[in-house]
Structure formats: C-alpha cells, structure tokens
Structure 1
Amino acid sequence: MDVNGSLQDVNVTSSIFQYGTRRNVASWQTVTAAVCLSPIIVLGVIGNLFSLLVWIKGRRRKTSTARYLSALALADILVLLLPAAEFWVFYVLHVDLRAKSWFLCKFYSYLTYLTPVTSAWILVAVTVERAMSVWIPHRINVVCQPKTALLFVFVAVIILSLVYAPICTGSGIETAIYMHSNGGGFSVQECTIHSSSLIKNSFVVWLVLDLCLFFIIPFGIMLFCNISIMAKVVCLANARRNTLQARGGQTTAPRGGRSQKMLKTVTRRIIVLSVTYCVCNAPLAIYNLILISDGADDILNSEHIAGYRIVFHILMFLNNGVNFLLYCMIGSGFRKDFVGMFKSGSRTSTTR
C-alpha cells in the first residue's frame, strides 16, 4: 500500500508538487498528520518494544504463539519507523524523502509495500495456529512448535520479498515537467516506476495482486479461522453444560481449568487482533479497489481523494500501533509479565 499515492492523482494547477524535494501540502493535512499520526508512531513504537520484551522474556516465551507475536511486534515497529515515518515527514515537514536520492526512492518504495504485508501474514499465521489449537488441541504441541513458527516467518519474509522485488528494481528518480493552466510550468524530481520496468505496463494487475496479498486473502483466512474458533467454543460450552447436567448439576471446575482459561485468553486476544486488523485496513483496501476500477471517477470526488488517502493511511498505521494496548486490556498474564519486568528481583518474567 503506497502511502504517497500515484502522481497521476495530483492536480497540477494547485502546485502540490514543487521544485526539488519540497512539497506544498494543504494546512489541514499537515495538522491532521501531526495531531493523529505523531502519537501513533511514538506510542506505537514504545508499545511494540514493550510487547517484544514481554514475548521474548515472559513466562510464555517458549511457545510458538509468543514467537509469532514477537515477530508481529518487530514487523509493526518497522512499519511505524519506515512507511509511517515517511508519511509523517511528507505531510508534516513537506519533504518527499523518496525524491532525495536513487537509494531512498527504491528503499521506501520497496519497504512501504513489504513491511505492512509481512505484518498481515504473521497475524494470519498466529490466527491459523489458534484455530488449530481449538480444533486439534491434543496435537497442537506437535504441529505448532516454536521452531515451526520461526521457520514460517522466515519463509514468509523471503517469499514476500521476492514477490515485491519488482517494485525495488522498477522504481527510480525521474524529472517530470508540469504545466500550469496559465501556460507556465515547472520541473520536479520524483520517485516513480520506470517506463521500461517489467511492471509498468501491468501496474494495475500488480496493484490487484498487492491488494489480495495485503488484505483480501488475509481477511478471508482470518474470517474463516475466527468463525471456526467461535463455533468450536460454542460447541465445547454446550457439551460442557450437557455433561454437568448429566452429572446432576455439578458446577465444580474441572481439572485443567487454568489451562482452559489461558487458552480462552489467547484465543480472545487473536480474535481481537484480527478484528482490529480488518477494521483498520478495510477502508484503505476498499478505497484502493475503487481507484483501480473503471468507475472510480463516478464514485470518488476528485476534491476528496487527498482527504480519503490521509485518513485511511492513518487508520492503517493505527493497526500497527495499538497491539500493546490490546494485549494489556485482554490478558492478565501479559499485564503480570509486563509489570514483572520492572520489579527488582522478580522472577515473573524469567520463569516459564
């Protein structure tokens, strides 16, 4: 998901793009990015660092779920420090970092696509693992091991890196000349896709592929897994209630109640993460889908495109910055591990 959008969307008569790397951005966009995105980046990076420490030092650090969530925290930090920070610099400081050099053009063009989609697929992996733990709990320790989680993350990063490699190889700095409506003109250095690149002539197909990898396929998998989890939980609850009734209404907690409570907490956490991902990313995905459709001009008012872009991207970055708060709200074990890291002599965060 390219944070700066396509230069074809720019209204040249408004002189949004000026000489060099300086950009003239509307004041309301600057205020919106400064007020909304600044705390998301700062608090999001700090929160994900805390989450990373909890997952690698806490009591559940040797579980596959902890490995997945550690990788997710690291991916979210990269999203906030790279695409989100570039977005902030563009709209708040009015500087186009991509246009400064050949390296920065390729660097940001590539990682702007790669880091968010990597975060999405790590969340897909942990969601699938939770669904498996609910449906095949007796084999989960065999199927889902910490080494398996690390292997999946590594393979996923390699595959996605290769898929998005054409963005890196095909992007570069070019000089464009824009004409004003009064007959004047100006030139500008811009980071764009070379006309001779492999994806230039099929860029719409590429955008559809990115949309599928970033949202449509992950959304479908997470929706299916979460529905199956909730269905299984309901079935187990009904079976437990029928068993208690058959025993004459005995209501004492069965053995293994603590592990069942932890399973419910972890499952609830993954469902909330998945729902948050879908809510935060669906508007941008729908917006991009409309942009590449034939009826975009009839659906979207050109005067509102800039507003949609900045709001939907801030919402996307919010998804990468709120996981720490979600962990604290949902899991008491996470809160205990987090507090235990700051207690002198505490063994809370050093024991399994």
Structure 2
Amino acid sequence: MNNTTSPELYYYKEITKTISKVVSPFILILCFIGNVLSFFVLISHRLRKQSTACYLAVLCIVEIGTCFTGLLRQFLIDAFKIDIRTMEHLITNSYYRTWICRIHIYLTYIFLRLSSVLLVVVTMQRYLYVSKKSTCTQKNVFMQVFSIIIIVCLCESHFFIYYEYTLSDTRPKVEQRMECTVDKERHIDYYKFRSEYYGKISLFLFTLLPFALMIIFNGLLIRTIHQSTKRIQSKKSSKKRNVTRMLLTVSLFYTILTSPASIYLALAPPKYQLRPWYVIQWTLLKLLFYLCHSVNFLLYCVSGSTFREEFLAMVLCQTSSSRYRHQSEREQPKSRFLNSFYRFLSTQRQRTQGT
C-alpha cells in the first residue's frame, strides 16, 4: 500500500509547492501594498472623522498580520524549506523552539479571529449610526477595538499554553517527526477538545455566526439607507450609501472567499490529513482564503467614490485646502457669470421702474 501511495503523495506535494511558489508571493505583495495604501487613505483628514473608517484602518493592519503569519510561513516552507514556526535551521535548543512555536501559532490565530470579529462589529456599528440609534466617537472606537483585541487574545490563549515543539500528532511515532503541536500523551483532555470540539466551536463562533450577523445587519443597512433616500435626497445620504456599499462589498467577498477553508478545516478529521490529495486541496483553499485579505483595496476603490477621491488626492499630494481651492477655481467662472447676469437683471429692472 505504501509503495503505491508514496509516488502519488510525492506528485501532489510537488504540484502544491509549485502553486505555492507562484501564487503566494503575488498575494503577499498585493496584501502588503493594498492594505498599506488603504490604511493611509482611511486615516486621511476627511475619512478618519468617520468611525467606520477607523475600524477599517485597524482591519488593514490585521489583514497584513494574517497574511504574514500564515501565508508567508507556508511560502517559506515550500520555496526554501524554512519553517519560521520552529526555526529548525537556525535554533537547535528545543526550549526556544517551543516558545517560537507558541508565539507564532498564537499570533496566527489572533489575526485570523480579529478579521471576522472586526467586520461584524463595524457592520453593526454602521447600522446603528445610519439608523440614528447610536453615535460613536473616535474615543469609543479605540476603546471597542482594544476590548475586542483583549477578548480574542484571551479566547485563543490555549494555543500559547498547550502548544509546543514535540512529536507530530498525525504521523506514526516511528517517523520521529517533530512539529509545533500538542503532546497528546501529556495533555489528553485538551488534545481531545482540540481534535473533536474546538474546530466546530470556532466554526460557529468565528465563521457561521459572523456571516449570519453580517448578512442580517447588512440587510438592515440596505433597508435603512433605502428608506432615508426616499425621504430626502442629499449629499449626506449619498455619503452614507457610499460607505455602506464599501461594507457590503467587503462582507460579500469575505463570506465567499473564507467560508470554504473554514468549513473544510472544521469538518475534515485529523486522519484525513494523511491522504495524498489533502495537501493540494488544503493549499488551494488557503490561497483563496488569503486572497480575501489582499483585495480590500481594490474593493474599496471599486465601491467607494470617496475612497477613490482620497486615494487620488494622496497620490497627487493634494491637501484639503488645495482641493478646496481647485474646486473654488472651477466654480469661479460660473459664479462670475451668475453675478453678471444678476447685475444685468437688476439694471434692467431699475430702468423699467424709471420709465
């Protein structure tokens, strides 16, 4: 059986490595450049006054962390056989490898969880603001983001406590394969919890529940904006629709691109990881997942006219005063024409009264 599956496993692994070497750098570059640009646009003087933009600016940092803790590690393994989670090529002491393992996997899951939680919170906050049920200042945004980070860090603290550099839990002991995992003989209860329950709990808390909340509150947002548009057609109402379109687009793509990997990870049993085709299936789903964290800049540009204006102003090095001056200069000919026309009408009226 081993003689027949080994060539097949080797074939799938080589295809997986080739795909990872080609696609991963593109996603990493897109993620870094796109999120850095989005961050600076969102904290511009015009946009940072909105609490939604502050949340999205924090989301940019989280998405960079998500790609560079998860996807970068996989790329280095496939391209250079370097695992930054264990540092086997640089560090020989197993104690230090354990601490690097814990820190890396802890940060990986924190960034993963923060992405979905922040999207849900910013959608809920946007609905409350548009429906005038609540207001949110920058101080409140910072307090809420800080609280979210603390809660997520506490929820995922088990990775920092139980994970270590030890024998693989999915491979036979005769192979003596060391990796960053849980010692299933020392932590029997936790290993059972992680293998049988944690995947399903995280699927519900960080995948299904966020998706459901995003759908519900985005639906409420659409209805509220539609009703307000019927009552009044104004620049402020158009601005609300603009930001809402950005959130709807980001939420939709997040749901489509991340749900397959989350469902696959939660439902696939640990022994399935030994199947030859698991490697390529999981790699393709991961690339799709990380692509979601790299395209928000493009989504903002497509769906948000205000974001596009601020981005172009940043590229052209225009300040708010210069944009206002250019707008005034464009309006000056029209204003001079109207003033001359009004003076002409006033003169004609005076002549008529005089006669």
Give yes or no for TM over 0.5. Answer: yes
Match of 2:275?
302
> What's the CA shift for 1:235?
4.0
Query: Quick one: which of 197, 200, 208 aligns to 2:191?
Result: 200
Residues of 2 paired with 1:236 and 1:342: CA distance?
Answer: 34
Contact residue 167 and residue 178 of structure 2 kept, 8 A: yes
Residues of 1 paired with 2:123 and 2:109: CA distance?
Answer: 22
Contact residue 56 and residue 67 of structure 1 kept, 8 A: yes
> What's the CA shift for 1:124?
0.8
Query: Quick one: which of 31, 36, 41 aligns to 2:28?
Result: 41
1:1-352 alignment runs, 5 A limit: 14=6, 26-100=13-87, 101-136=97-132, 139-140=133-134, 143-175=135-167, 186-195=175-184, 196-197=186-187, 199-203=190-194, 204-236=196-228, 239-240=230-231, 257-292=234-269, 302-344=275-317, 346-347=319-320
Distance 1:43 1:144, change over 3 A: same
Residue deviations 1:104-131 (CA, integer Å, cap 9, x gap): 2112221221101101111111111122
> What's the CA shift for 1:292?
4.5
Distance 1:301 1:234, change over 3 A: farther
Distance 1:232 1:189, change over 3 A: same
> What's the CA shift for 1:25?
7.8
Distance 1:16 1:165, change over 3 A: farther
Q: Which has the higher helix share?
A: 2
In structure 2, runs of 5+ residues without a counterpart are: 88-96, 325-355
Residues of 2 paired with 1:350 and 1:95: CA distance?
Answer: 49
Task: Specify the code of the residue in structure 2 equivalent to 1:190.
Answer: E
Task: Specify the code of the residue in structure 2 equivalent to 1:266.
Answer: V
> What's the CA shift for 1:144?
1.8
> What's the CA shift for 1:302?
3.5
Distance 1:326 1:59, change over 3 A: same
Contact residue 340 and residue 349 of structure 1 kept, 8 A: no
Report SS of the residue matched to 1:62.
Answer: coil
Q: Which is greater in Rg?
A: 2
Residues of 1 paired with 2:322 and 2:243: CA distance?
Answer: 18
Report SS of the residue matched to 1:230.
Answer: helix
Task: Specify the code of the residue in structure 2 equivalent to 1:123.
Answer: L
Task: Specify the code of the residue in structure 1 equivalent to 2:17.
Answer: T
Match of 1:250?
none
Residue deviations 1:110-163 (CA, integer Å, cap 9, x gap): 122110110111111111112223322xx54xx322211111111011011011
Residues of 2 paired with 1:82 and 1:337: CA distance?
Answer: 30
Task: Specify the code of the residue in structure 2 equivalent to 1:161.
Answer: C
> What's the CA shift for 1:81?
1.6
TM-score, L = length of structure 2: 0.78
Range that drifts further, 278-287 or 56-65: 56-65
When the two chains are superposed, the root-mean-square deviation of aligned CA atoms in Å is 3.2
Distance 1:261 1:179, change over 3 A: closer
Residues of 2 paired with 1:90 and 1:214: CA distance?
Answer: 27
Residues of 2 paired with 1:107 and 1:14: CA distance?
Answer: 34
Report SS of the residue matched to 1:99.
Answer: coil
Residues of 1 paired with 2:172 and 2:31: CA distance?
Answer: 41
Contact residue 280 and residue 316 of structure 1 kept, 8 A: yes
Distance 1:112 1:329, change over 3 A: same
Distance 1:222 1:292, change over 3 A: farther
Report SS of the residue matched to 2:190.
Answer: coil
> What's the CA shift for 1:344?
4.0
Pairs aligned (count)? 309
